[in-house]
Chains A and B, each alone.
Chain A
Amino acid sequence: MTAISLTRSHRVRAVRLRRIARQFCSHRLALVALIFLVGLALVAVLADVLAPFDPRHQDYDVLNKGPSVHHWLGTDSLGRDMLSRLIHGARVSLLSSVGAIALTLVIAVPLAIWSGYAGGLVDMVVMRITDALQVIPPLVLALAIVGVLGPSVRNIVIALSIIFAPSFIRLVRGEVLAVREATYIEASRSIGSSPFYIVRRRVLHNIASPLIVQTSVTLGFALLAEAGLSFIGLGVQPPNPSWGNMLSTSYASIFTAPAQIYIPGSAIALTVFAFNLVGDGLRDVLGVSSASISRHSL
């Protein structure tokens, strides 16, 4: 009996996933964006193999040179290969934004479920803290946290997860409150399901769609925020490359090599754009209302 229902529910899930995948593929732009992001992730993983030069190697014979056969995207003010720095920068940028979102989910989801399920004092305390964090402009909060903890990628990840947590907590708690009183949850409870089982099988199942959309939209902002903080010198410390600090290096030589700012800048813009497109595509396919998703901008 259990074996049969198990295989059946698996088959139902497989059919549903295939339908979602097919619908997503009909969103041309979202599909292109997803392929771009997967490609970028591969580049980030294979950075050591793909990068033609050591991103930290300085060659004083080629300072601020334009594209050439040797250096496809040219070199920066210290004679470092731009392409290699861009490839290695992708790793830092993607890793820190994914890390920030992962940490956010680990903090926010259990807290929100606990808060929504338990109600009472727990809920009140969690919501008041959430409200308070949302009153502070996000970038200022991130700045203050990185400021006291000290500049580093790890601290940026911590700061970003603190500024993202409130909107995730709000989203998940809202869904928990909505399903808590639903008849099928009551039924599940009445046949003796443990709260843990209900949360895992019923509640998480319901919040999955809005959570996925919120995650993909927030990833774009995380990348932007990391780039911005690295740009003002609070993130990845030189000589290690990140798109943000490449932008500030190229800004420093804006009079001698004005075209240089377009290389890291368009990498950041394209990636953020891709995250937003994938988010919008997923939102349409999963049928999530756009009002439930909170967006940040920088």
Chain B
Amino acid sequence: MTGLLVRRLASMVPLLFVVSIVVFLLVHIVPGDPARTLAGGEFATPERVQLVRHQLGLDQPIMAQYGHWLGNALHLDFGKSLTTNRSVLTELAERLPVTAGLVAGAVLFAVLVALPAGIAAAVRQRRWLDKVIIAGVSLGMSVPTFWLALILVSVFAVQLKLLPAIGFVHFTDSPVEWARHLLLPWISISVVMAASLTRQLRASLCDALEDDYIRTARSKGLAPAKVVGKHALKNAAMPAITVLGLQIGYLFGGAVIVEQIFSIPGVGSLLIQAVINKDVPVLQGGVIVLALLVLAINFAVDVVYGYVNPKVRVA
């Protein structure tokens, strides 16, 4: 098990190296003279252009630039934001907990819906309950998250006036207000997640229920709840966990549009601001940190795998 995890960790190193090259090159695909464009285009003063050029190291040969940039990035130093002049890492560190709260709530909602729905559909395969759940899944996977968010705002905030339409309150200031402000974003994000998780869980549970060991478990007189809950679910959980892990990682950046709609000051809003202001250091830092996060979650999924499936531990 430890050997496997060490190998997994080692395989991330070349991956991160390639990510760093891709991210580094971002500044070089800025059209025209990057320093001038990023300094504000044709209206930028020559001093400002020079400053940006120096700040980004664009006055050095490209290999030296990359070496310098990578050296700093290894210490999580992504330079300073071109607009606020604050350290990119500080900006990101301020916003990550906000997005983490958003993602955690949405994942909780999704799992709470998908677990019973997936099990119910698999157990009642091809009956009407299964058909209803399948229809719900296709519907849930086709509704654009950002449109759902708008509908929820329109119904619950504008018409019924039950919940705030936009804004954010920090958890430390008031947990109740925090949850009230995040309820609509949680629901909008969790619908797609719950749908694809249900789909995955149903599919793998259906497969598992047809295996020989289930017939054995049934024939020795085990209670149906125990057959499904203990034997089938443990085997069916792996693909679902993979899907969940992938989604959590992607959500940290994928919640961009929902964060924008609800004015939540998370990583997504930071990235959108960076795009609007052409703040390349923030974009670079954001992409790297999010990639690191995805890798960390993949690693966590591997650990869970080992826990759920003893076969992996031996390999």
Contact = CB atoms under 8 A, between A and B. Distances in A.
Interface residues on B, range: 35 or more
B272 A232 contact: yes
A295 B291 contact: no
Interface stretch (B141-149, B174-182, B303-311): B141-149
Contacts of B249: 137
A143 B256 CA distance: 9
A112 to B, nearest CB: 17
B146 A231 contact: yes
A273 interface: yes
Contacts of B271: 140, 143-144, 147
B143 A128 contact: no
Interface residues on A, range: 35 or more
A135 B15 contact: yes
B5 interface: no
Interface in A92-136: 128-129, 131-133, 135-136
B138 A128 contact: no
Contact of B138 (A136, A150, A273, A290): A273
B15 A141 contact: no
Nearest to B239: A291
Given A137-B253, A140-B271, A255-B158, A298 B145 contact: yes
Contact of A251 (B18, B150, B290): B150
Given A135-B295, A137-B253, A265 B144 contact: yes
B50 interface: no
B146 A297 contact: no
Interface in A136-159: 136-141, 143-151
A160 interface: no
Contact of B287 (A141, A247, A268, A295): A141
Given A220-B142, A298-B254, 15 more contacts: A135-B295, A136-B290, A136-B291, A137-B251, A137-B290, A139-B254, A139-B257, A140-B271, A143-B272, A145-B26, A149-B30, A228-B144, A269-B147, A276-B142, A295-B196
Interface of A: 128-129, 131-133, 135-141, 143-151, 220, 224, 227-228, 231-234, 247, 251, 254-255, 258, 261-262, 265, 268-269, 272-273, 276-277, 290, 295, 297-298
18 contacts: A135-B19, A135-B291, A136-B290, A139-B256, A140-B256, A140-B290, A144-B26, A145-B26, A147-B271, A148-B30, A149-B29, A151-B275, A231-B257, A234-B275, A254-B154, A269-B142, A272-B144, A273-B138
